Amino acid sequence: MSTDTKLYSTTNEHEELRQAVRRLADEKIAPYAAEVDENERYPQEAHDALVKAGFSAVHIDEKYDGAGGDAIAACIVIEEVARVCASSSLLPAVNKLGSMPIILSASEELKQKVLPSIGRGESSISYGLSEREAGSDAAAMRTKAVKDGDTWVLNGTKAWITQSGISDWYTVMAVTDPEKRANGISAFVVHRDDPGFEVGNKERKMGIKGSPTCELHFTNCVIPEDRIIGEPGTGFKTALRTLDHTRPTIGIQAVGIAQGALEAAIAYVKERKQFRKAIADFQGVQFMIADMGMKVETARQMCYVSAAASERGDANAGFLASAAKCYASDIAMEVTTDAVQLFGGAGYTRDFPVERMMRDAKITQIYEGTNQIQRVVMARALLK
């Protein structure tokens, strides 16, 4: 395989979108970010502001009442929101994650049923792949779906589901033919009001504390037969194809968090004086800032290149998606840790945003496949 890729470029529309989202994030989301984290509460102000401005799911096609934004536009929204509040950036990010299996593989009828309300911001959607005993090895899942007349009956438990309790719709992978392992997994859409569906307790997390993460319980959960996404047995393939489109969005979420930490660090080192000088005057500090800026910019470019590749359906989009997610999230961990370092003791307190950003950055190395799994994916692509 070749890792060459065409260059992406942003249009005037993209840059106008960036300015609009940045303004909204600074005015309507940033003021609540610290308190949302402190109280581990849902960022309702961000949710309402994103929905009102039409930024909660820009990737949904105009045909389904969405804005028809491309993969770059979706990244711009997530990046600018994550720059001030990672928890809030999960509304647009998970709307893309949850709806992508439908966009890629569902029947036209199912698309018409689910996508328009998400496009209009009236509802949102989560993605249910992981289970307690099936994380990196997601194909080992135990949640089952059995056909019963003109319905499917789901039983089992999904774990770690982002935005659960907030979302109205849930894309859920379940085993329909246990003999076939990955080829016996199918994808379904479940609604919060479906009988036998229940959201479990909230996890107590290190970061992204404003974003609810819960289990989903299915106890003889009955859904109509036409809620299957694509053909039986194609669900795992759809789940993996989805990740080619959404790993760039996690990468760019990491870039947004790192950018926020970099900006906070730059402001602080110019202000803070030691040895009768601003600490920004010390070359040791300047080199740290330069390295942080270089890393954030390379990660940003990587994410946009991979988003553009996913939009075009390039053959190497999967490699690039894993590379972007892995690289950007590792960079975000480094940059946010260095930002805390540049704040000295103050950086270790909750009085400044960089400790929150460092805690928030960590999840980007774990979800949508850990960075070890991204390396497995990349090595497989390179060695095949």
Ligand X SMILES: Cc1cc2nc3c(=O)[nH]c(=O)nc-3n(C[C@H](O)[C@H](O)[C@H](O)COP(=O)(O)OP(=O)(O)OC[C@H]3O[C@@H](n4cnc5c(N)ncnc54)[C@H](O)[C@@H]3O)c2cc1C
Residue 191 CB, nearest approach to ligand X (Å): 17
**Among 73, 81, 154, 161, which residue interacts with ligand X (rule: CB under 6 A)?**
161
> Which residues have CB under 8 Å from 236's CB, separation 6+?
138, 139, 173, 182, 183, 185
Segment 102 to 131, residues that bind ligand X, using CB under 6 A? 126-130
CA–CA distance, 250 with 96 (Å, rounded to integer): 11
Q: Tell me if 136 contacts ligand X by CB under 6 A.
A: yes
Which is nearer to ligand X, 244 or 368 (by Cβ)? 368
Segment 189 to 218, residues that bind ligand X, using CB under 6 A? 205, 208, 213
**Among 32, 42, 55, 160, which residue interacts with ligand X (rule: CB under 6 A)?**
160
> Which residues have CB under 8 Å from 165's CB, separation 6+?
199, 202, 212, 214
CA–CA distance, 327 with 321 (Å, rounded to integer): 10
Which token pair is 311? 């939009």
Give catalytic residue positions: 368
- What is the C-alpha radius of gyration for the chain, rounded to an integer number of angstroms? 21
- Cβ–Cβ under 8 Å, residues 255 and 296: yes
DSSP state of 25: I
CA–CA distance, 296 with 263 (Å, rounded to integer): 11
Name the residue type at position 134. Answer: A
Residue 205 CB, nearest approach to ligand X (Å): 6
Segment 349 to 368, residues that bind ligand X, using CB under 6 A? 363, 366-368
CB-closest chain residue to ligand X: 135
Which token pair is 82? 């994550």
Alpha-carbon separation of residue 23 from 27, 60, 268 (angstroms): 6, 22, 22
**Among 191, 334, 370, 381, which residue interacts with ligand X (rule: CB under 6 A)?**
370
Segment 261 to 290, residues that bind ligand X, using CB under 6 A? none
CA–CA distance, 353 with 265 (Å, rounded to integer): 10
**If binding means CB under 6 A, how many residues of this protein chain bind ligand X?**
22
Which is nearer to ligand X, 53 or 376 (by Cβ)? 376
Which is nearer to ligand X, 24 or 97 (by Cβ)? 97
Q: Tell me if 249 contacts ligand X by CB under 6 A.
A: no
Which is nearer to ligand X, 67 or 129 (by Cβ)? 129
Q: Tell me if 372 contacts ligand X by CB under 6 A.
A: yes
> Which range touches ligand X (CB under 6 A), out of 140-148, 156-164, 261-269, 294-302?
156-164
CA–CA distance, 370 with 375 (Å, rounded to integer): 9
For ligand X, the binding residues (CB under 6 A) are 126-130, 135-136, 160-162, 205, 208, 213, 363, 366-370, 372-373, 376
